Each structure stands twice: as C-alpha cells, then as structure tokens.
C-alpha cells in the first residue's frame, strides 16, 4: 500500500477496521448531516462574543485608543499581548504540516488539516491588533511600500515593526496557499459525493476540476514537499521577527539576544496546546475517535514537553543574565525576584504555575496519554502563555528607566472586550470550518491504511 | 468487437497494489496504450512505472524565489538608499550593502512569498486546474475508493479484458 510501511511494534495510527470508503464517509458525515444543538449553541456564544468585540473595536476607532487601559509608561499592553499570543498559536499548524512532513511523521495526517485551519484563523486575529492599535486603521495601507499622495513617504525598512508586516502577511498567505492546495483533492471527493445542487456547485468551483490523474498526483506531491521546505524556515522566521519587536529595542527585559529561539519555542508550545484544545472537542463532536488516537495526543504532548523545557531554560537564562548584568533596572524584569513579590506578583506566578510546573505532569505516561488531562493541561498552557506575553510587555514597561514614572496597569472593558471578540471570531471561523471543510486530509490519510484490512473485509 | 477502431477501456480496481500489477500486464500487451490512471490518493512508484517525466516545479520555485530576492533587494535599495535616504538611529543610509542586516528579513520574506505563490500558480496551470472547471475523472468513484486505468486498444480487447479480470480488476467498462 502506497509508500507507507507500518512497523508491527508500533501502535496503529488509525483504529478499527477502516476501509477507504469508511474514511470517505467519516469525513463527509459532518458536511452532509445537519448541525447538532451543541454546534448551534457554540456558534451563538461565539457570535455574541464577536459582537461585543466588534462594538469595542468601533468604540476604539471612534474615540481613540485612550479608551484602553494604556498610560504613558505602559504604552503597549493587552493589544500586543494578544497579538503575540495569537501569532504564537498560529505556529503549530504550519509546523505540523511542514516540519513533520519533512521528517516523514505520518501521525500528522489526522491532525494537520485542522491545525492549519487553526493557524490561519489565529493569524487573522493576530493581524487585527496592530491595525486597531494604529488608531486610524483606514491608513493601514501606509505600512506597505506603495506610491502615495505625500511624495516620497516610504515605510522604514530598518524597523522591526515593518519586518513584522512582511513576515505576518507572508506567513498568512503562504500558509493559506499550502492549506488550499491540500484541500483541492478533498473538495473533489466531496464534489463527487454530495447531492445538494448548491453544495455541489460550490465544491465544484473549489475543487478546480481535480481528477486525481497520475500527473496531478506527481505534481501535487512535489509542490507539497517544496511548500513544506519553504514553510519550515518561514515558521521559524515569523516568531523570530515578532521577537525582534522587543529584542531590538533598548528596554530592559526586552533587549535580549535569547528572544528569537525562546519565542519560537514558546510559539510551538502554545500552538500545540491550542491544537490539543480544539482537537479534543472536534474528536468528540465529529466522532473522529478512530483517527485522533491516544498516540496522537501523546506525540503532541511530547512536543509540548520539549518546547516547554526550552521555554523554561530561556526563563532561567533571562534570570541569570539579568542578575549577571549588574544593572539595577534589570532587577525588575519580568522574570526576577522583584517581579515575584511586586505589584504584578499574580501575573508572575500564573506564568510559573501554568508554564513550568503544570506541564511537568506530562512526564507521567498515563497523564500524557489521557484525553481528559491532556485537555486540562493544554488549557492551562494557553492561559500561561498569555500571561508570559503579558509579563514580558507589561511588567518590563511598568518599571522603566525613570523611577518617577513607574506605574501599574488596569485593563479597561474595551481591552477585555476586543480580546474576547477575537476569541469569538476565531471560534466562529472554526465552527464554520468543521461543518463545511474536510477536517481530515482524507486523500493523504488513505495512504497509510493497510490494504489487508480492506481485503479481509471484502472476503467476509 | 471492431478490430479497426480504437476502443477505450476503463479498468477499475479497489487496491493500488493490484492496480500496479494491472499496469504491468497492460504494458506487456501489444497494441494498447495507457491514456491515464486515476486514483483517490498518490500511489508510490506509479510515476516510475508509467515513465512520467520529472516535473520542473522545484526548478521553477527556485527561479521565482530568485526573482523575489532581486525584487526585494531592488525595492529596499530604491526606497532606503536611492530615493529618500534618512538617518535612522545612525544606520548607514548611503550604502545598501552596509545596511543589509536591516533588509534581510524583508528580502527573505519576499523571496518565499514569490517562490510559494508563483510555484502554486505554475502547478495549477500545468495541471489545468482552475475554479469551476468540470471534473476530469471519468468515474466519480475514483475520488473515493476505486482506481481507474483508462487505456486505448487497437486490437481485439476480449483477451486483455479477461486477463485483467483474472488478475484482480473489479470492473472493465468498454467506451467507444
């Protein structure tokens, strides 16, 4: 069967005696069937959250960013925290698809499609924050190097903020293309099975006339591999460049050469936690128990454990380097004794508990292979990684070089509202996705199905 | 059967290994040629058995990436050095090569952008895939669980049909 050799000593990646037809039907089921009550309730809650967010965004744009909790000392806070958090979440999808494809990890096949979707939806949320933070979002196109009415007004290519524009937009568009190219054969499968004329028309348009010819598959495999090769450095570059927003500055606690690898590891850490969170629900709701198995959960937990370890190492390095620098201002960085007992002690300890202590439970095999505990730990990591970004930004800014301007930060309802609004939009997109898209890359998944099983079933 | 005209046969299989065996049988048979093979997923070694040409997509992606690299280099030079040089944080605004560390991220991103997007467009053009095109597969089961060989035969096809059926073909449909 195809190019896949499954070792007899390894656990199977697909449970049960599945045939090609079973896989097709399982992927088609959520698209053909009507949505359940749970789906409608989840969509309703997400729409409410989104509407609140939209209201807060309009209020911000109409009044100005003074409606946020920012002050002259802490001039970046929730907005950039959310931006970095969402970008970080957006890292796992392309990592699973691209890096694990290059490493020939077949277990990615059950989860890559949903993880890529999550990436795209998360990057959309991330992109909103810098645009809103501009205060005048109708001038957002000024960050692009396009001729304008002001003579020679060009963006500054020395600025890491402009590098961010290029990095995030390239990451978003290349990830979307990578995702869509993989979707074409699966859209064709739906096109050939669906009976509703309207749906058939839509899937016909989306499937681009795919026929599954030998030449199409040969080229498909080649572009998948090349896109994986292109996306791999892209994944690492994006959060590296996001970290440059901080590390190229002269703010204490930010001006750190360890930030790029530390941010990339942190992004993968949080991205996999979000994949666990979403797949934990999708597995149950869409009845994908045969495809998303304990092995998948365990492999993801191993990556979480590894990247969590790298993040922990980075925290220790930050602590030691701050102490070793001898600078009195470095005493107040986000990972220091002063932070642990200062006004933001709760944010500091949230980071320690969620990102360092709790993930250590994944060393225990039974927890690592438990759906329930993996889900709980993943949610805690999501929270912890939000606090990490909050600590880096707010704690470092709150004690700047001028002690007379040291101050605290209290978010306004608008700060909170916009964040919740983005969570709402993210879940709206995800819920619509699981009802209309093939949630598993069925054409690739069929390549790892053992033909013996089908033969056996046919002979019965 | 008519011995003078070309007859088109659709041979259907439900297993890719048996399909590969079927292709070898057809290739040994004179007076017939395989027009196309349709499958629900990529089959390992099929391209070698069918003697398909190596694609040029990897080379094209390199060319497109190089184009993006040149364009980004030109863009950063024109904007930051030639058109409106500014002293920003003391960084050298008079020499592109001396200020290149600032330009590497953008040059890298634009190179990847052009390489990925133009390669995908080339792929779609080469495969003749465009939004709304009618499906190429002659049988809708080929996107589900069946594998189809489309072949043309000049001679009497009965012998070949029987041979293929004996060797695992689930269905043979004769098309004119």
**pLDDT tens column, A380-434:** 999 999 999 999 999 888 888 888 988 889 999 999 999 999 999 999 999 999 9
Mutate which: A157, A165, A248, vs B, most B CBs within 10 A: A157
pLDDT at A379 over 90: yes
**In the structure, what pLDDT confidence band is assigned to residue A47 with cuts at 50, 70 and 90?**
very high
Contact B123 A214 (CB under 8 A): no
| pLDDT tens sequence across A185-244 | 999 999 998 888 999 999 999 999 999 999 999 999 999 999 999 999 998 999 999 999
Mutate which: A25, A104, A160, A213, vs B, most B CBs within 10 A: A213
The answer to which of A25-39, A258-272, B50-64 has the lowest mean pLDDT is: A25-39
For residues A139-158, give the mean pLDDT: 84
Mean pLDDT rounded to a whole number for chain A: 88
Interface residue A206 vs chain B (CB under 8 A): yes
Partners of A213 in beta bridges: B38
d(CA B140, CA A211): 9
Q: Does residue B92 sit in the same domain as residue B66?
A: yes
Q: Does residue B35 sit in the same domain as residue B61?
A: no
**Chain A, nearest residue to B49 by Cα:** A214
In the block, tokens 């058939």 appear at A200
For residues A366-383, give the mean pLDDT: 93
Question: Is residue A19 situated within a structural domain?
Answer: no
**In the structure, what pLDDT confidence band is assigned to residue A451 with cuts at 50, 70 and 90?**
low
The CA dihedral of B147, B152, B153, B157, to the nearest 10 degrees, is 40
| pLDDT tens sequence across A103-129 | 888 888 888 888 899 999 999 999 999
A 220-279 → B contacts, CB under 8 A: 220-223, 226-227, 230-231, 233-234, 237, 241, 244
**In the structure, what pLDDT confidence band is assigned to residue A11 with cuts at 50, 70 and 90?**
confident
Q: How many domains does chain B have?
A: 2
Partners of B42 in beta bridges: none
CA end-to-end span of chain A: 20
Q: What is each CA distance from B136 to A190, A207, A288, B6, B141, in whole angstroms?
A: 15, 11, 30, 21, 12
Q: State the pLDDT at residue B156.
A: 67
Contact B40 A189 (CB under 8 A): yes
pLDDT at A37 over 90: no
Contact A222 B58 (CB under 8 A): yes
pLDDT at A255 over 90: no
Q: State the pLDDT at residue A8.
A: 64
The closest alpha carbon to A88, from A51, A116, A62, A126, belongs to A126
Largest CA-CA distance found in chain B, in angstroms, rounded? 85
Q: Does residue B154 sit in the same domain as residue B116?
A: no
Question: Is residue A25 situated within a structural domain?
Answer: no
Q: Does residue B119 sit in the same domain as residue B152?
A: no
**In the structure, what pLDDT confidence band is assigned to residue B176 with cuts at 50, 70 and 90?**
low
Q: What's A355's domain CATH number?
A: 1.20.1630.10
Residue environment code for A119-138, b if the CB has 16+ CB neighbours within 10 A, otherwise e:
bbbbbbbbbbbbbbbeeeee
Pick left, alpha or beta for residue B87 (phi over 0 → left; psi -120 to 50 → alpha; otherwise beta): beta
Mean pLDDT rounded to a whole number for chain B: 87
Contact B108 A219 (CB under 8 A): no
Q: State the pLDDT at residue A9.
A: 66
Strand B7-13: give its sheet, edge to edge.
Answer: B32-38, B147-153, B7-13, B171-175
d(CA A380, CA A388): 12
Q: Does residue B118 sit in the same domain as residue B75?
A: yes
Interface residue A18 vs chain B (CB under 8 A): no
Q: Does residue B70 sit in the same domain as residue B120?
A: yes
More confident residue, B3 or B110: B110
Contacts of B23 (CB under 8 A, 6+ apart): B34, B37, B46, B49, B50, B149
Contacts of A39 (CB under 8 A, 6+ apart): A285, A431, A435
Partners of B148 in beta bridges: B12, B38
Give me the residue from A191, A221, A223 closest to B120, CB to CB: A223
**In the structure, what pLDDT confidence band is assigned to residue A450 with cuts at 50, 70 and 90?**
low
pLDDT at A2 over 60: no
d(CA A409, CA B145): 59
Question: Is residue B11 situated within a structural domain?
Answer: yes
Considering only CB atoms, which chain B residues are within 8 Å of A220?
Answer: 42, 123
**In the structure, what pLDDT confidence band is assigned to residue B170 with cuts at 50, 70 and 90?**
confident
The closest alpha carbon to B19, from B41, B39, B48, belongs to B39
Which domain does B70 fall in, by range? 57-126
Considering only CB atoms, which chain A residues are within 8 Å of B37?
Answer: 213-214
d(CA A30, CA A438): 9
**In the structure, what pLDDT confidence band is assigned to residue B118 with cuts at 50, 70 and 90?**
very high
Cβ(A379)–Cβ(A429) below 8 Å: no
Question: Is residue B138 situated within a structural domain?
Answer: no
**In the structure, what pLDDT confidence band is assigned to residue A5 with cuts at 50, 70 and 90?**
low
User: How close A25 gets to chain B, by Cα (Å)?
Assistant: 9
d(CA A31, CA A458): 27
| pLDDT tens sequence across B53-78 | 888 999 999 999 999 999 999 999 99
pLDDT at B34 over 60: yes
The rounded percent of chain A whose pLDDT value lies above 90 is 54
Q: What is each CA distance from A25 to A189, A199, A293, B106, B144, in whole angstroms?
A: 10, 17, 19, 45, 9
d(CA A255, CA A249): 6
Which domain does A443 fall in, by range? 31-449
Q: Of the spans A350-364, B33-47, B142-156, which averages the highest pLDDT?
A: A350-364
Contact A211 B136 (CB under 8 A): yes
Considering only CB atoms, which chain B residues are within 8 Å of A24?
Answer: 144-145
Contact A237 B43 (CB under 8 A): no
The closest alpha carbon to A355, from A441, A291, A262, belongs to A262
Question: Is residue A24 situated within a structural domain?
Answer: no
* Structure tokens given for B32: 């017939």
Q: How many domains does chain A have?
A: 1
């Amino acid at each position: 069967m195809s190019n896949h050799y499954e070792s007899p000593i390894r656990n199977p990646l697909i449970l049960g005696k599945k045939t090609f037809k079973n896989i097709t039907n399982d992927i088609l089921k959520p698209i053909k069937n009507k949505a359940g009550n749970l789906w409608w309730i989840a969509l309703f809650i997400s729409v409410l959250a989104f509407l609140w967010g939209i209201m807060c965004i309009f209020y911000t744009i109409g009044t100005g960013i003074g409606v946020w909790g920012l002050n002259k000392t802490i001039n970046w806070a929730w907005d950039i925290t959310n931006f970095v958090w969402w970008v970080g979440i957006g890292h796992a999808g392309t990592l699973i698809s691209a890096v694990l494809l290059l490493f020939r990890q077949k277990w990615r096949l059950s989860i890559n499609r949903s993880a890529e979707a999550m990436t795209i939806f998360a990057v959309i949320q991330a992109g909103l924050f810098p645009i809103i933070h501009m205060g005048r979002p109708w001038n957002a196109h000024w960050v692009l190097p396009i001729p304008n009415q002001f003579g020679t007004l060009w963006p500054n290519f020395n600025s890491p903020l402009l590098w961010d524009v290029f990095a995030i937009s390239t990451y978003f568009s290349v990830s979307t293309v990578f995702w869509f190219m993989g979707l074409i054969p699966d859209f064709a499968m739906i096109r050939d099975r669906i009976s509703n004329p309207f749906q058939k028309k839509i899937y016909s348009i989306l499937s681009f006339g795919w026929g599954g010819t030998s030449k199409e598959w040969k080229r498909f495999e080649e572009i998948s591999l090349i896109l994986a090769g292109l996306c791999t450095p892209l994944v690492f570059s994006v959060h590296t460049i996001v970290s440059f927003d901080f590390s190229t500055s002269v703010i204490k606690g930010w001006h750190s050469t360890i930030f790029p690898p530390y941010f990339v590891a942190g992004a993968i850490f949080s991205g996999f936690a979000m994949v666990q969170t979403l797949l934990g629900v999708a597995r149950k709701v869409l009845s994908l128990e045969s495809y998303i198995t304990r092995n998948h959960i365990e492999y993801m937990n191993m990556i979480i454990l590894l990247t969590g370890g790298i993040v922990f190492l980075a925290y220790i390095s930050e602590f030691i380097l701050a102490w070793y620098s001898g600078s009195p201002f470095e005493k107040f960085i986000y990972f220091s004794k002063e932070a642990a007992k200062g006004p933001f002690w709760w944010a500091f300890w949230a980071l320690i508990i969620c990102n360092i202590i709790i993930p250590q439970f994944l060393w225990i095999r039974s927890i690592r292979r438990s759906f329930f505990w993996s889900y709980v730990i993943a949610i805690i990591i999501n929270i912890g990684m939000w606090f990490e970004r909050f600590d880096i930004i707010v704690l470092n800014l709150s004690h700047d070089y001028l002690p007379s301007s040291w101050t605290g930060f209290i978010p306004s309802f608008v700060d909170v509202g916009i964040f919740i609004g983005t969570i709402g939009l993210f879940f709206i997109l995800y819920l619509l996705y699981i009802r209309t898209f093939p949630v598993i890359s069925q054409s690739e998944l069929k390549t790892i199905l053992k033909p013996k099983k089908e033969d056996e079933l046919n002979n019965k | 059967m008519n011995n003078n005209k070309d007859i088109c046969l659709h041979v259907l299989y439900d297993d890719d290994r048996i399909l590969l065996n079927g292709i070898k049988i057809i290739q040994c048979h004179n007076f017939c040629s395989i027009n196309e093979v349709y499958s629900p997923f990529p089959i390992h070694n099929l391209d070698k058995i069918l003697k398909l040409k190596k694609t040029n997509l990897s080379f094209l992606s390199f060319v497109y990436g190089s184009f993006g690299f040149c364009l980004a280099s030109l863009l950063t030079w024109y904007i930051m050095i030639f058109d409106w040089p500014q002293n920003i944080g003391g960084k050298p605004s008079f020499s592109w090569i001396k200020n290149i560390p600032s330009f590497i991220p953008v040059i890298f991103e634009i190179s990847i952008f052009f390489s990925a997007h133009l390669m995908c467009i080339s792929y779609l053009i080469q495969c003749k895939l465009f939004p709304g095109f009618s499906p190429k597969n002659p049988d809708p089961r080929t996107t589900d669980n069946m594998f189809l060989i489309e072949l043309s035969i000049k001679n009497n096809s009965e012998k070949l049909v029987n041979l293929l059926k004996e060797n695992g073909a689930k269905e043979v449909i004769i098309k004119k």
